[in-house]
Amino acid sequence: MDRNERLARIRASLDEFGCDALVVTKQVNIHWLTGFTGSNGTAVITPDSLAVVTDGRYETQIRHQLQSAGVDAELTVTREVEQPLRAAVAAAARVGLESEDVSWAAMRRFAGWLDGRELVPTVELIELERRHKDPGEIQRLRLAASIADRALAQVRPELNAGRSELAIARMLEAAMLDFGADEPSFATIVAAGPNSAKPHATPSDRTIEPGDMVVIDFGAKVDGYGSDMTRSFLLGTPSNRQQAVFDAVIDAQAAGVAAVRHGVDEREIDRVCRRRLTDHGLGEAFIHGTGHGIGLEIHENPILSSRATGILRSGYVVTVEPGAYLPDLGGVRIEDSVVVTASGCEPITLSSKSPTAC
């Protein structure tokens, strides 16, 4: 899908969302639509125009990025957004604002600038289109996932070398940069022993030791697109209980991945994983949702939880990441990212799921 097709899809949604024009303020949405990656921009989409406003810091960059992306936009370089904004929506009676991005203060500013027009709070108008990944986006996500796979393979032996959680996190991040990542896709999680029972623990200077359960959750970012994977390890000789929890999560995760297919209710993936863990006596220990889309944001639509409302479609890229967290024992989470296809899914996370490090 090229940028013009993305723009056409958004234009086709305007009326359904009750607006004649959409003001785009969320920067990743501007990136997705136009290729511009600066930190300050506003875009206005109408049925027959696209206006983009940024400030002087980005003049050279935005001209280059719009041209590379094949985007034909009315560009204004200024710190004063009011005039170009008013000009862009001149023919629109109903102007959409991205309600989950626009602060109260910004909304009041827009209301002053657009006095007399109806402001329409839109929800996920662009995000719903971003669920569908085109081949170029999937290629970036695959590359990001493979960089993370390579980094883990390189760093895995270090789990047995008396390193701290922080040291392992830094090694993973350095390896990802060496293998071509632009940056980590989010703050790396390395959680050992009791910390592994906290799903989003911050790496500490705790030394990783035999007997620890270790959860490692990390990813690489390539050209804006971030991968997301989790592997868990049992160090030393695992207890029967540790092994049982590990095996249960592996089983639930495999069942979840097996359930992913075009046309399936998104809630079903969560249901399948939760049912399996409940069968293993660990239903109460699975304390988060099962997965989410990945792309320009690390958590994006669709969110695979019991509250999901959609249907999976070919071309979505989602995670499947059940876990079990027992404060007196530790935690296990296994997370793959997969591309939804007509007949099932294709994992882009390819690291071994073996619980024994190296």
CB of 327 to ligand GLY, least distance (A): 20
CB of 174 to ligand GLY, least distance (A): 19
CB of 352 to ligand GLY, least distance (A): 19
User: Which is nearer to ligand GLY, 6 or 221 (by Cβ)?
Assistant: 221
Site string for ligand GLY, 199-228 (x = CB under 6 A): ------------------x----------x
For residue 67, with 0-12 CB atoms within 10 Å meaning exposed, 13-18 middle and 19 or more buried, which class applies? Answer: exposed
User: Which is nearer to ligand GLY, 96 or 203 (by Cβ)?
Assistant: 203
Q: How far is CA 196 from the centre of its chain?
A: 22
Angle 231-183-179 from CA coordinates, rounded to 5° = 70
User: Which is nearer to ligand GLY, 20 or 336 (by Cβ)?
Assistant: 336
Is 336 a residue that touches ligand GLY (CB under 6 A)? no
Rule CB under 5 A: choose which of 149, 165, 212, 217 binds Mn ion: 217
Long-range Cβ contacts of 65-74 (<8 Å, 24+ apart):
65/34, 65/35, 65/36, 65/37, 66/34, 66/35, 66/36, 68/35, 69/3, 69/34, 69/35, 70/2, 70/3, 70/4, 71/3, 71/4, 71/7, 71/33, 71/34, 71/35, 73/34, 73/43, 74/49, 74/50
CB of 274 to Mn ion, least distance (A): 16
Segment 228 to 247, residues that bind Mn ion, using CB under 5 A: 228, 230
What is the number of helices (H) and of strands (E) in the chain?
10, 19
In whole angstroms, give the CA distance from residue 137 to residue 295.
8
**What is the signed CA dihedral for 256, 216, 281, 307, rounded to 10 degrees?**
-50
Rule CB under 6 A: choose which of 186, 204, 244, 313 binds ligand GLY: 186
CA atoms within 13 A on the CB side of 250: 13
Interacting partner of 186 out of ligand GLY, Mn ion, none (Cβ under 5 to 8 A depending on kind):
ligand GLY
CB of 189 to ligand GLY, least distance (A): 7
User: Which is nearer to Mn ion, 217 or 270 (by Cβ)?
Assistant: 217
CB of 19 to Mn ion, least distance (A): 32
Q: Indicate the residue whose CB is closest to ligand GLY.
A: 217
Interacting partner of 337 out of ligand GLY, Mn ion, none (Cβ under 5 to 8 A depending on kind):
none
Please check whether residue 85 is in contact with residue 9, taking contact to mean a CB–CB distance below 8 angstroms: no
User: Which is nearer to ligand GLY, 41 or 302 (by Cβ)?
Assistant: 302
Please check whether residue 140 is in contact with residue 225, taking contact to mean a CB–CB distance below 8 angstroms: yes
In whole angstroms, give the CA distance from residue 335 to residue 318.
10
Segment 246 to 305, residues that bind ligand GLY, using CB under 6 A: 299
User: Which is nearer to ligand GLY, 130 or 231 (by Cβ)?
Assistant: 231
Stretch that binds Mn ion, among 104-112, 148-156, 333-341, 348-356 (CB under 5 A): 333-341
CB of 221 to Mn ion, least distance (A): 13
Question: β-strand 42-46 against 21-24: which pairing, if any?
Answer: antiparallel
Interacting partner of 137 out of Mn ion, ligand GLY, none (Cβ under 5 to 8 A depending on kind):
none
In whole angstroms, give the CA distance from residue 172 to residue 150.
9
Nearest to 293 by CA among 278, 315, 271: 315
User: Which is nearer to ligand GLY, 30 or 175 (by Cβ)?
Assistant: 175
Phi, psi dihedrals of residue 64, rounded to the nearest 5°: -65, -45
CB of 231 to ligand GLY, least distance (A): 12
Rule CB under 6 A: choose which of 137, 165, 297, 321 binds ligand GLY: 321
Interacting partner of 268 out of ligand GLY, Mn ion, none (Cβ under 5 to 8 A depending on kind):
none
Q: Which residues bind ligand GLY (CB under 6 A)?
A: 186, 217, 228, 299, 321, 335
